[in-house]
Structure 1
Amino acid sequence: MQPNNSVTEFVLLGLTPDPMRQKIVFVIFFIFYMGTLVGNLLIIVTIRSSQTLGSPMYFFLFYLSIADTCFSTSIAPRLIVDSLSAKKIISYNGCMTQVFALHIFGCMEIFVLILMAVDRYMAIRKPLHYPTIMRRQVCIILIVLAWIGSFIHSMAQIILALRLPFCGPNLIDHYCCDLQPLLKLACMDTYMINLLLVSNSGAICSSSFVILMISYFIILRSLRNHSAEGRKKALSTCTSHIIVVILFFGPCIFMYTRPPTTFPMDKMVAVFYTIGTPFLNPLIYTLRNAEVKNAMRKLWHVRITSESKR
């Protein structure tokens, strides 16, 4: 429920007040968003249609692409439209909806990355038991639990946001609604809420990053016992995952594990993990994965062949 306050809408200051730079922002982020949609949808369609990409790793990659697409869509379209708008107004309800979407899909991406690390750990450390441990039913249960955990996390964030009273000003020094910029506008002492934010979002980001790095360290150490070909394949897969983890968690930890202070680079750091990472993920997973590239070639070759025969 909306608290008793005089603010019914917010004004987003965006990335830059300069009109020329705003046009550059429009072009750059329109290209990034289109690339995100095309890349992730291509992965989704390929995994769903291909019979060779039925392993748990690609099952989780399918949901990572869904989370990436939704995560970027919760931010990018508004950023693109606002870059051409003189006044970037967002309603109170729209702002709260964006907070909810940002956290549910961002948290889902975190959980899926953890599941992908677990899958690689089992595949490399327990190869004989891997088909039994990571069977289809188990993977489905893990994804359902990830969605439930993401929903609970996002509900915690939105409850904190809804408890904030706003009495003006209503200028958000950001390009999207999130708890950190909203805390600066609240007409109350936000120390405890910021502490809850750090203990929630900050703890999830930091602990997940540590868990992932430890798991990949163990995985890489265990590769010494594999054949040269097996090491090369596993190393290629794990390297892709590690790159994604660093690109996503580095900015998140910077944003969510600190006191409520503002730094000049905050907006650009936020751009990197809200816009940049969803764009880079499909490139990393397709360019470094021979199985995905081969499946894509076969899929589109079959479609082009079938179309030419009509």
Structure 2
Amino acid sequence: MDSRKLGANGPDVSAIGLGAMNICGFYGPSSEDEARALFRRAAELGVTHLDTSNVYGNGFSEEVIGRYLAAGEPGFTLATKAGIRRDPDSGARFYDNSPAHLREALETSLERLGVDRVELFYIHRREADRPIEEVAETLADFRKEGLIGGFGFSEIAPASLRRAAAVHPVAAVQSEYSLSTRAPELGLVQACEELGTALVAFSPVGRGLLTDVPPTPEIVEDSVFLKVNPRFLPPNLAANVAITDGFRALAAEMGCPAASLAIAWLLARSPAVIPIPGTRGVVHLEELVRGAGMRLSAEDMARIEAVLPVGWAHGDRYSDAQWHGPERFC
């Protein structure tokens, strides 16, 4: 497995990591035994980076990882996130990047994970009314205390990244990036390369659209996220599956699974990119990891772009409610 830097001053990690949101039932039923088997196989395949959050299953993802590590299983470079809260009365979601909340959340995450520090700690959603410079100072203090190795932000604009980086180097920005979602190429990829910030790409296979088994209406209905997401609602789902049939055919012609080709394309776009696909299945994991070992030529890249040109996807990547929090910048 090739390695990439988790920030200019960060550790080397595997070229692709593993996202741990799927083990909480976000895209369908899952079990702790399946998660343990997945983590073991990831380690065997050379995956060294595991990315989670305190809100994945209301802490369940972190707890599962903690029990896995406590059992003496192979370890990972760990990343987790904080900053999303819910009103205890109404259940409404809001964002809190205050020093007090972030410290409490980080300490709770460390306890769940059973570790003294995490290598990467993200702001999961930025609190719009709090200057990002102030947040960067809070996170830099955590780093000085040895609680974290570095810090990052999820779903922020390039301008926000530059403001934070003027205070302290930002190890990573997490953003959706794939053949389905190309917005990061309009400034975020470039800013990350310039600043030495890793661009940690979630949903790198388009939430299943860029695989050999794209989501069916039945699968969509079982997912709390997909069943309200524009790209997976009628008539967009049928249109998107039909368009990506050409990508599946190209992958088959090239002798690899579609998911492998999607990962290989993303890694070829920039040395700053570290995809973190999420899956519940070992077979799919193996397809994803295979993509990290592929080398695409300029001709290969052109053929991929021909079947999936920029802007091919029908429907926005988020619903109006899902857009609450991420920063739009183009």
State TM-score, norm by structure 2: 0.25
By relative contact order (CA 8 Å, sep 6+), the higher-ranking structure is 1
Higher strand share: 2
Structure number with bigger Rg: 1
Higher helix share: 1
State TM-score, norm by structure 1: 0.26
